[in-house]
Every structure is written in structure tokens, then in C-alpha cells.
Amino acid sequence: MSVLIQPSRRGFGGENFMRMMANDTAATPSRYDDICGPHIGNVMSRLDWAFGEAPVTISLCCPAGEPLATGFAAPIRMRAPAQAQRGWHGINLSYAVHSQHEGRGYGLAVSCLVIQEAESIWGARLQEDAFMNIQTRQGNGRSNSLMRLLTGDAEVEDASFSVQLPSGERLDYSGSRVVWSKALAIAEDHLLNMPFLSEVSVDTAQHDAAEHPAG
């Protein structure tokens, strides 16, 4: 099945993502927690970085217009005072796929597309040693596999961490950071091998209203 690349938008919780969640009636309750789950505040407070701007989003839809996957990429800045320099330190990547369309390469495709879109928006403002940041639940096997695909055989920095919730529950996350230029090259290489993509006109000038980043 060919898929359509929808025009990019800004902000978490865009129309396509919200429609995908609403239509994903077979999804487990925690499927979208990394994006908009109940513990996002606890997770964000544990990170060593903060969002610099609202993310750019790109969605893939079927020919009938139903969203299949959405990717999010946003510039980030390290929290440590010693890191408070000009420009962004990196780009954080996250994504979500409709549960009935797993295993078809849509998560990889939309991630690579939004990596390229992030470069077009923020590339000139990234520091020379900028990196791509990916962090996901350790128990999310598909996301961990995708993380390895997006970093290839590049040398990566471990970005794993844990969150202790007030309830006593512990959330363990795995993460990787790879040099941004390498991430771009890997993304381009993957996209060259995805013939199922059918591109529609992409208008980055028209954005949804930016929302407060959720995760």
C-alpha cells in the first residue's frame, strides 16, 4: 500500500496524531504514553535536557486519509549551566504508529522524514557537535529496534535513565545519542529504500498552533 506524506505541522497533539489515537481502538492503554501519558511530568523532570521549541511533526496517511504514523522532532538544550551556549545542542526524536499498522516500516519512514524536516528548520542553529536524541521505554521492543536502525553502526552515547514514581513504580528508559550529521546520513539512506512513500506537497509555512511539548 502506498502512503501519503502529510504537510508538516508544529506542536505535539496535532490533528493527525489525535485522530490516530482516537481511531486506534485496539491499542493497549499505555501505547502512547511516551508522547502524552500520565507520567510525562515525572519523566521530563528526570531528563538532562529541555525542549527549546515546539516540535515539527510529519504524519503518514493511507490514500483514504487515515493517519498511520506520526513523527516528532524538536531542538533541545542541555540543562547543565556549563552547557548554556549559543544554538541548540541536539534534536529529540519521537514517533507513534497505529497499532494495526506495526511492522510495515511506517515508524522508520516517518522518523527519517521528520529528521530531514528538523534539519531544514533548525540545522543552521545546531551546534557543531549536535546530536540526535532518542529515548524510549526499555520494554518497548519495536521502539528499541527502531532506535538501533536509526543509529546504524555509528558510535552512540548511552542516554538511558530511570524514573521513580510517587506510587513506587519504576519506569526504565533506554536511550541513544548519535552525531547529528550521522543521523541525517542514516535517515537519507533508509528513505532511498522506501518505495511505498508517495509524497504530497509539503507546506512548512502553515503550522498548527504550537502546543506545550508533552514528551
> pLDDT for 63-116, tens place per residue?
988 999 999 999 999 987 665 567 899 999 999 999 889 889 999 999 999 999
β-strand 56-61 against 9-10: which pairing, if any? antiparallel
pLDDT of residue 117: 97
- d(C-alpha 212, C-alpha 35), whole Å: 12
Class of domain 3-199: alpha beta
- d(C-alpha 174, C-alpha 162), whole Å: 9
User: CB of 177 within 8 A of CB of 132?
Assistant: yes
The count of other CB atoms within 10 Å of the CB of residue 24 is 18
* Overall average pLDDT of the 159-171 stretch: 94
> Cα(first)–Cα(last) distance of the chain, in Å?
30
Q: Point out which residues pair with 126 in neighbouring strands.
A: 88
- d(C-alpha 134, C-alpha 130), whole Å: 13
Predicted confidence (pLDDT) at residue 211 exceeds the cutoff of 60: no
Contacts of residue 190, defined as CB under 8 A and 6 or more positions apart, other chains included, come to 108, 109, 112, 149, 150
Q: What is the pTM of this model?
A: 0.88
Predicted confidence (pLDDT) at residue 214 exceeds the cutoff of 80: no
Helical H segments across 11-153, by residue range: 15-23, 33-36, 40-46, 106-122, 141-151
- d(C-alpha 30, C-alpha 37), whole Å: 7
